[in-house]
Amino acid sequence: MSRIGKKAVAIPSGVTANVEGQTVKVKGPKGSMQVVLPEDVTVKMEDGSVKVDPRNETKRARSMWGTSRTLVFNLVTGVTKGFEKKLEITGVGYRAALQGKNLQIALGYSHDVVFAIPEGIAITTPKPTEVVITGMDKQKVGQVAAEIRAFRPPEPYKGKGVKYAGEYIFRKEGKKK
């Protein structure tokens, strides 16, 4: 039994949710989003909340139950608060700056890395060594953060590179003479 799937997703004031078949549409102060849930679950509106239940007792239906409930919850959270990921840049001369609709990052290569900011994502650089990614879609925010981190992942000897805020980098000892 899914413990998270049993809980209904409460719809806060100022947010409207609409269920049409397997499609859940949510509209809030930050915008509107929708998700199409798999056929293995049933979704319905019940007194101000969205309830997700498995259609039958197959392993796939039980797996999709909690996943579908979380997808609906992420829609509601996205249109109310939004999502945020912070990246930290470590290394001498490593820095990031916004250039119009692009993020320009100096990561020790012979050229600066220019990253085009996708639609629906906002990127800010409060400090030259910090990048903050915000948006409504949790998947898109995480994907953009992962793409930026992939330009220069943190290395284990000095810890230089791009890492998530709060990420632990396993450090190795250097060569011994």
pLDDT per position as a tens digit, 50-69: 999 998 888 998 889 989 99
Q: Is the pLDDT of residue 1 over 70?
A: no
On average, the pLDDT of the chain sits at 91
Give me the pLDDT at residue 21, please.
87
pLDDT class of 4 with cuts at 50, 70, 90: confident
Are 139 and 91 in a shared domain? yes
Task: Output Rg (C-alpha) for the chain, integer angstroms.
Answer: 21
Task: Give residue 135's domain range.
Answer: 83-164
Number of domains into which the chain is organized: 2
Whether 46 and 75 map to the same domain: the answer is yes
User: Would you say residue 98 has pLDDT above 90?
Assistant: yes
pLDDT digits (tens, 9 = 90+) for 126-140: 999 999 999 999 999
Asked if the structure places residue 170 within a domain, the reply is no
Q: Is residue 13 part of a domain?
A: yes
Residues 63 and 92 in one domain: no
Same-domain status, 92 and 74: no
Tokens of 35: 């998700």
**Does the residue 19 lie in any domain?**
yes
Instruction: Compute the distance between CA of residue 84 and CA of residue 165 in angstroms, rounded to an integer.
Output: 11
Q: Which of 80, 99, 129 is the last residue of a domain?
A: 80
